[in-house]
Structure 1
Amino acid sequence: MSLVHDRPRALWTGVRGWHRPLVAFTSVMCLWAVVCLIGLILDPRTLAGDPIWAKPLKFSISLALYAITLAWMLSRVQRPVLRRIGWWAGTIGAAASLLEIVVISIQVIRGVGSHFNVSTPTNQFFYQLMAGGVTLMYCATLVIGACLTMFSRLEDRALAWALRLGLVIALVGLSVGFLMVIPTAAQLADPTSSTYGSHSVGGDDATGGIFFLGWNTAHGDLRVSHFIGMHALQVLPLLAIALPRALGEADRLRIVLVAGATYAAVTAIALWQALRGQSVVHPDAITITAAVVAVTLAAISFVIIAVRRRHQLR
């Protein structure tokens, strides 16, 4: 009986040792996601063809995942100097993320767009404020990742490489956001344009999108690769943790490396597709071929790992 009661106590004790500002921010985002979900249900307003509360709901969920991941990463940093650097990076990252979601939510309440909106001095100020928050979050992720993956020793090689690959792919995915702020040709040609930058390539952001996600169904959309890439920092470490220890260190590492390479390929294909102005729901033969090649190579690699392991166990 005591063992049953000790398990949640031990889990709570472990979580209490995580970066408190990031854990607190995660809690706030979970609560705000519930509020946004209620708004999604009760508020009929739309923006650029999508429910107006969809964006803060998506960002709340995504930022919560990122914050708790960074808090967990910081809990594994051992050297005192790196822990102090990581603490400040995590605190700045939490504050920057809070600034971003506050701006997005204020603009939703006002009934206007937050991204790329320069229609008035107020909207332009909010957009620049949010962009500054995103940049700080990017830097915080880089610093925390470097503290753990470059300057800390992890005994689990599979997890160490999952974190390294996840960090690199995530930073690439986050970097796609910088492509979005580049003005389109139409915006450059119109000095009175109320927007500066776009999620879409080959069209505008108001031509229709996938429900909730909002990804453009008529043109290329940079948000696809942005989303896939940035969440490698959750997917790959979770894979490493989920792989049974019985597989052995070498095979767990091989699986993580193949998964990481495949994940990077999928992110690259999604970005390549968007830059060609092609919708994610209407891939052409070239895109399909690239995806099939990536999946096939991954499947062959996993088969080789399985055959090697079976041979070694004989």
Structure 2
Amino acid sequence: MVAAVGRIWRDGRRVERAAYVVGAVLFAGGLANAVVLLASGGTWLGPVSLRKAVTFGLSFGLTLATVAWATSYLTVRGRTVLLGAFLLACVTEVALVTMQAWRGVPSHFNFETGFDAAVSMTLAAGGGVIVLTGLGFTVAAFLSPGAMAPSQRLAVRFGLLVLMVALATGAVMIARGVGEARGGDPQLAYTTAGALKPLHAVAMHAILVLPGLAWLLRFTGLAERQRLRLVWLAVVADAVLTAVIGIEAFTGIPPFSAPAVYTGLSAVALAVLAGTVIFALFSALRGKESPDYFRASNP
């Protein structure tokens, strides 16, 4: 398995390696801000909390590296341009959010000064670039999937679809928030947009979990047919979890105050998803790489 990880780096194109390095830097920045926040005893709540620098750094760092790896299987023209644009947008989002957090002012829906308004609109534009590049990758996953085992192809396709749910949710959050802020009620903007955060967060990382699961299953010694079944199980579980969180978010139900049926569905889906990943991880540590391993085509 270690050799396969090294192969991901060696076989990667320049833009992919750049994305891995930048993703690691963004993630490390998020960790550094977490240390500062813990050491300073600052609040984890509110639009000016350093928490935003933490979550943006960690989340965008993971997402950038994961998208670079997962889409390396695709055979689509212009992928270097798409990934490069995605990389630059991720860096812009994290840098601006971190800057505003350290200045002690809100990063989003902040039109108090000309500079703050420019930052808010730049963040919105960066989000638009991320949505468009994500859409390009998702379409390519269905039209030009490249040489992948069926289990990996399913994981990449569904992971990108759920990523688009996260990005679309983020776009709705921004649209709602900007509307309320422009209407003179910035506090309502944060409250309205914040209600969709659980869906945005849960859907964001399916692109990490599902392709990662399919990749781990290659080292379990299981036949491809068995691996495909396990990936399907994880896909269904992730779909149920995302759907339940989405219903709660758009109907205004707090996740920790949801009806028992929603809580039960979420718990079961999360348990199944975690169970498949844990099984794959421990089995992979004892197994060896499947002979039907498909390298990324890196077009």
Taking structure 1 as the reference length, the TM-score comes to: 0.74
Aligned to 1:52: 49
Structure 1 residues 137 and 258, CA, compared in 2 at 3 Å: closer, same or farther?
A: same
Contact 2:47–2:190 (CA<8 Å) still a contact in 1?
no
Aligned to 1:71: 68
Higher relative contact order (CA 8 A, sep 6+): 2
Contact 1:166–1:234 (CA<8 Å) still a contact in 2?
yes
| 1:121 and 2:144 correspond | no
Q: Of 246, 266, 291, which aligns to 1:271?
A: 246
Structure 1 residues 46 and 8, CA, compared in 2 at 3 Å: closer, same or farther?
A: closer
Q: CA deviation at 1:157?
A: 0.6
Aligned to 2:206: 232
Contact 1:119–1:195 (CA<8 Å) still a contact in 2?
no
CA distance in structure 2 between the partners assigned to 1:156 and 1:282 by the alignment: 41
Aligned to 1:87: 80
Q: CA deviation at 1:94?
A: 0.8
Aligned to 1:27: 24
User: Number of matched residues?
Assistant: 271
Contact 1:182–1:196 (CA<8 Å) still a contact in 2?
no
Structure 1 residues 15 and 287, CA, compared in 2 at 3 Å: closer, same or farther?
A: same
| 1:107 and 2:82 correspond | no
CA distance in structure 2 between the partners assigned to 1:196 and 1:120 by the alignment: 19
| 1:143 and 2:108 correspond | no
Letter matched to residue 92 of structure 1 = A
SS in structure 2 opposite 1:26? helix
Q: Is 17-26 or 84-93 further displaced after alignment?
A: 17-26
Aligned to 2:151: 158
Question: Comparing both structures, which one devotes a greater share of its residues to helix?
Answer: 2
Structure 1 residues 12 and 230, CA, compared in 2 at 3 Å: closer, same or farther?
A: closer
CA distance in structure 1 between the partners assigned to 2:183 and 2:121 by the alignment: 19
Q: Of 259, 262, 275, which aligns to 2:237?
A: 262
- Let me know the Cα RMSD of the aligned residues: 3.3
Which whole-Å deviations, capped at 9, do the CAs of 1:231-254 have from their partners, x for residues lacking one? Answer: 111111111112255332222112
SS in structure 1 opposite 2:190? coil
In our comparison, the structure showing a higher alpha carbon Rg is: 1
Taking structure 2 as the reference length, the TM-score comes to: 0.77
Structure 1 residues 109 and 174, CA, compared in 2 at 3 Å: closer, same or farther?
A: same
| 1:280 and 2:255 correspond | yes
